[in-house]
Amino acid sequence: MVAALDALDDRILRDIGLTRGEIHGVVYGYDDLELGMTPTPGAASGPLDQATLR
C-alpha cells in the first residue's frame, strides 16, 4: 500500500486528501481487516442523497 501511494504524484495525493508525509501514518493506521476490504459496487459513484441514507 505504501509503494502504491508513493508512486502517485503530489497532485493526485492532494486530490485524495493526503500529503506525501502522511502516507506511512495512513497506511499503518489501518488494521489487516480494513486493508483486506474490497470496494462494493457503486462505492465510487456520486454523492449519496438523503433518501439513500435512510
- Segment 2-54, tens digit of pLDDT: 999 999 999 999 999 999 999 998 888 877 777 777 877 765 555 656 565 55
Helices (H), 1-54: 2-6, 10-15, 23-28, 32-35, 50-53
13 close to 5: Cβ distance less than 8 angstroms: yes
pTM: 0.52
- Torsions phi, psi for 44 (to 5 deg): -90, 5
Cell numbers representing residue 28 in the block = 499503518
Q: How far apart are CA 40 and CA 1, in angstroms?
A: 19
